[in-house]
Chains A and B, each alone.
Chain A
Amino acid sequence: MRKYLLKRIFYLFLTLFIVATVTFFLMKLMPGTPLQNEAKLTASEKASILAQYGLDKPIWLQYLIYIGGIFKGSLGLSFQFSDQAVSYLIGSRMGPSMQLGGQAMVIGVVFGIILGAVGAIRKDTWADRLATILSILGIAVPSFVLAILLQYYLGLKMGWFPVAGWEGFAYTILPTLALAASPLAETARFIRTDMVDVLSSDYIELAKAKGLSKFGIVYHHALRNSLIPMVTLIGPLAAALMTGSMVVENIFSVPGIGEQFVKSILVNDYPTIMGVTIFYSALLCLLLLLTDIVYGIIDPRIRLSGNGD
């Protein structure tokens, strides 16, 4: 177990190192400096601004400084907001993103499990078909379309929820719903397929023969066994949520990381793009590692070993 963990952590750092390196050099290929908007500066002013961002040094030195900085938790300075550290920018915008992501994950997974379980138990009935249609729609309707529709029909037309902004729980409802659709659909599909298998296995037959109630069978025997492989879905779901958050936060003007990321892309704020990329990768890597460990603990059949795959 320890050997496995050490190995995984080593790969985590290797991955992040490669991501940081590739991002750094890709961004260096790009035109654009923090000066571009201020063409009327004198030569000495330009030099001092470049020096402030460390852009006067040769590229290899900039790279070493950047990589070294990451270990100290520094991701450089933002071009867009002068003098603001990227790490501070990310830190100050993490709250809303995490809240939205967390809420969407919980809602998506819980309702997805219910939808999937109903579909599996009532297989080939109208309930199953309805659940299937809902989950297919959740995959087919892109989050940005859903977000716009929710915002207009439930926010503007019905006036049930605030249209945009970030001033309290009511403001989180619509973005959460827009984000939750895709995890909900994925979970429902996953659980349905898995539970159809589980429900036809021998130990369910035994439970039926023992005369357990239908609820008891589903809850204690079928669902619990279907939930174990669900753990592996958390990583992909989190990645999907990151994707979704970029547009959903934009549409509902939530001051989160996704919104900042898109803004930075549009104004060529390279240090922020790099910082957020590394942050997202680190988050996903950590989640993948955690899910693997949790999977090993709750399912004793999976052994975590240090050698091979």
Chain B
Amino acid sequence: MADNANNIEIKPGDFAPLDKQAGPDNEKIAAPSLTFGQDVWRRLKSNKTAFTSFIVLIFLFLVAFGGQAVYHHDPNDQSPKYANLPPKIPGVNIHGLNGHIKQSGQDVDAYAQAGAGKDVHYTLGTDYLGRDLLARIMYGTRVSLEIALIATLIDLTIGVTFGIYSGWKGGRVDMFMQRIIEILSSVPSLVVMVLMATAFQKTGMASIIAALAIINWTTMARLTRAQTLQLKNQDFILAARTLGESAPKIAWKHLLPNLSSVIIIQTMFTIPNAIFFEAFLSYIGIGISSPQASLGTLISDGQKNFQFLPYQMWYPAIVLIILMLAFNLLGDGMRDAFDPKSKR
């Protein structure tokens, strides 16, 4: 080592002055700095399953809420002449989509049998009253989504307010509020919903929304309370208090933004839950009633003819399953995306 060191000759010419402009660049951060939201979005995009679910959901929302602008068929337009026609898409000759149906072992053109002209075709067939099934599914999906979204919004409001208040107040108030949650959650939620739906004169959107909202908020309240308990002893809250901020303002400006990830994730699981319960209630006959339709009533109607006209149940069921899948998978993805610990 020592020999080597002696052998190296360092001349002044070996050194060149650094460009003065290069200096500050050492400190420069090349990548753009991301906000929390951008970071979450980036992680969500890199999760293929969740991102696909996201796209699928956007597509379903567009079709459910805007589909009628493109597909001009009234979901309640009955034409008994054309009842129970199978799906027919002009130019497509795949069994199940060409208007043919198996009757006692033989392939029959159901459209010719019903005396329908060449220009009559129903993309997903018709139901037992001759209503266009595709239009009804779009309409039913919209009703299902509306119910689920409004119910979720309500129980989010109740749950978050209840949770923050309970956690913030602490002490006896908290004890009392927690007992309420405990009592509510030791009753099977479906039983409560059934009771509510029955008590609010059975049918209609409002009664289902109320029934869903009354029972579903407890999980949200529990989560926000637990988070509030952790947050409220932290220094930034103490600082806000010292500065004389009022409690509601602290809750709104400091607690809520910090609770947002918990709330968003929980919402992603509340929505499919609400969709499921709505379909369930409508299926057993105490939910939406005709002429309104939801995915649950469509499945229940389709089930009656399932043996002979399976498409009448399959299509609404597939839409329901895809909705549930997409929300659940997106929820899983969101949970990973919001959790910085799972950063890879």
A and B form one complex: yes
CB-contact partner of B199 in A29, A148, A261, under 8 A:
A29
CB-contact partner of A145 in B182, B183, B195, B321, under 8 A:
B321
Q: Closest residue of chain B to A276, judged by CB?
A: B191
Q: CB of A277 within 8 A of chain B?
A: yes
Q: CB of A156 within 8 A of chain B?
A: yes
Contact partners of B186 in chain A: CB under 8 A? 12, 15, 281, 284-285, 288
Minimum CB–CB distance from B272 to chain A (whole Å) comes to 8
Q: Closest residue of chain B to A148, judged by CB?
A: B303
Q: Mark A243-261, 1 if CB is under 8 A from B, else 0.
A: 1001100100000000001
Q: Closest residue of chain A to B316, judged by CB?
A: A145
Contacts A19-B187, A136-B329, A281-B187; is A262 near B284 (CB within 8 Å)? yes
Instruction: Assess the B313–A265 pair: CB atoms within 8 A.
Output: no
Q: Which of B312-343 contact A (CB under 8 A)?
A: 313, 317, 320-321, 324-325, 328-329
Q: CB of B164 within 8 A of chain A?
A: no
Instruction: Assess the A277–B179 pair: CB atoms within 8 A.
Output: no
For A, the interface residue count at a CB cutoff of 8 angstroms equals: 42
Contact partners of B188 in chain A: CB under 8 A? 239, 242-243, 280-281, 284
Contact partners of A1 in chain B: CB under 8 A? none
Contact partners of B284 in chain A: CB under 8 A? 246-247, 250, 262, 265
For B, the interface residue count at a CB cutoff of 8 angstroms equals: 35
CB-contact partner of A243 in B280, B310, B324, under 8 A:
B280
Q: Closest residue of chain B to A143, judged by CB?
A: B280
Instruction: Assess the B313–A148 pair: CB atoms within 8 A.
Output: yes
Q: CB of A219 within 8 A of chain B?
A: no
CB-contact partner of A247 in B191, B195, B283, B325, under 8 A:
B283
Q: Which of B28-42 contact A (CB under 8 A)?
A: none
Q: CB of B133 within 8 A of chain A?
A: no
Q: CB of B299 within 8 A of chain A?
A: yes
Contact partners of A144 in chain B: CB under 8 A? 280, 283, 299
Give Cα A172 to B80, complex, Å: 40
Q: CB of B190 within 8 A of chain A?
A: yes
Minimum CB–CB distance from A292 to chain B (whole Å) comes to 11
Instruction: Assess the A273–B280 pair: CB atoms within 8 A.
Output: no
Q: CB of B178 within 8 A of chain A?
A: yes
Q: CB of B285 within 8 A of chain A?
A: yes
In the A-B complex, the 7 residue pairs with the smallest Cβ-Cβ separation, listed nearest first, are A140-B324, A243-B190, A140-B325, A26-B199, A15-B183, A239-B188, A281-B187
Point out residues on B near A: beta carbons under 8 Å. Answer: 178-179, 182-183, 186-191, 194-195, 198-199, 272, 276, 279-280, 283-286, 299, 303, 306-307, 310, 313, 317, 320-321, 324-325, 328-329
| 9 intermolecular pairs with C-beta atoms under 8 Å apart | A15-B183, A29-B199, A139-B324, A142-B283, A145-B321, A243-B280, A246-B190, A284-B187, A309-B178
